[in-house]
Chains A and B, each alone.
Chain A
Amino acid sequence: MVSNRTKDEPHRLGHDVFLDEVHSFEFWFQAVEGYLSDHPYGCSRTPVVAEPEIAESARDGLITTLCNYCVGETAALEAASSMIAFAPNRRSKIFLATQVVDEARHLEVLLHRLEQLGVADPEAEVDLRANRSLLAFKRRLLELVAARDWESAVFAQNVILETMEFTVFSAHIELADPITAEVLEGIIKDERRHMGFGENDIGRRLMDAPHIRARLATVREELDPLVLDAFEETLDQIGVPRSERPDLGRRYLSSVTRLGFDS
């Protein structure tokens, strides 16, 4: 019998019950309620506090960085929404539906932040400032999705892209102005689910069908240079010291390493 002390202890759930719970729309809804209610556009400051003083060069760098975050979020929005059609089971379909909502929200709050920084037409600015490698990554991701290649699409989107975003956003928060930092904190809370979904889905599939490893290794070989180029450029823009980059690189690579791919 479960005592009151251990009531609701998640570690007591059977694995299938756990998976049903964390993939459910109900779980998502109650989770995001905790950190998004009363946070218009991802920020608790209502009305918005005065824009912090940001030097012109820093502001310009921040705008470029946020534009590239928009490219990544748009890629995930377009990919995740299309992946629902060929997701292999009900849990994945429902989870992806929640991810689509998350990605749409991320895009919206980032565009809103660009407006707050004085960008008159944020979407046009994204087109102007987008990193070429990130655009190439997006094109390739959408090709994998169009080919209905579930494993490669999840690997590219939920492992490679989401892990890069999680790593970069975490580093950026440490250096960002308070408004940008709060917006990014809200996004990171969603990214935990997205990258965890990817790593666990691919981990299970590699155990059941080891032959897919070679295909995923090829995808990684193709996408890694694109991601690393975007990664380096963004770290330059947000001012991450060179001495801290090896550690960030290790963090970025930790998921693929756990999945058994050479780092």
Chain B
Amino acid sequence: MTDPLLEEEVGSEEPRQRFVLDETGFDEVPKKYRRFYRKWGGPTDTLAPNEVLCPVCKVVIRSTRELRVGDRVYCMPCMSRLVVAKSASGLLEAIVNYG
């Protein structure tokens, strides 16, 4: 699991895309965190490279940087810690990390 607090973008890893996040109307967390989440539009909703779907509560989690396998993200609406993984279909997915 890649802890963003400890991670430094050095070595052979390709630099990550960065994203500026705007609020999208999501209102289920305190104001300062709202831009980091958005409502999911259902199975036809295409996720951006900085987004992953929370499997617990079906909210889209957003980051200011491109997400990669092993990254840790938090879903504040349902209080879950998640790790980014690759699904069988090759897309990024989030897996709950209870530990």
Contact = CB atoms under 8 A, between A and B. Distances in A.
Contacts of A15: 81
Interface of A: 5-6, 8-15, 18-19, 21-23, 27, 30-31, 34-35, 166, 189, 192-193, 195-197, 199-200, 203-204, 206-207, 254-255, 258
B28 A192 contact: yes
Contact of B74 (A18, A31, A166, A207): A18
B57 A196 contact: yes
B5 A34 contact: no
Nearest to B27: A34
A215 to B, nearest CB: 18
Given A196-B79, A203-B96, A254-B55, A11 B4 contact: yes
Contact of B77 (A12, A13, A14, A193): A193
28 contacts: A8-B33, A8-B36, A10-B74, A11-B36, A11-B73, A12-B4, A22-B79, A23-B79, A27-B76, A30-B30, A31-B28, A34-B28, A34-B29, A189-B27, A192-B77, A193-B78, A195-B57, A196-B75, A196-B78, A199-B96, A200-B79, A200-B96, A200-B98, A203-B96, A203-B98, A204-B98, A258-B56, A258-B96
Chain B interface: which size bin? 20 to 34
Given A15-B81, A34-B31, A258-B55, A22 B76 contact: yes
A30 B27 contact: no
A interface: dominant SS: helix
Contacts of B77: 189, 192-193, 196
Contacts of A23: 79
B74 A30 contact: no
B64 to A, nearest CB: 5
A11 B79 contact: no
Contacts of B72: 11
A11 B73 CA distance: 5
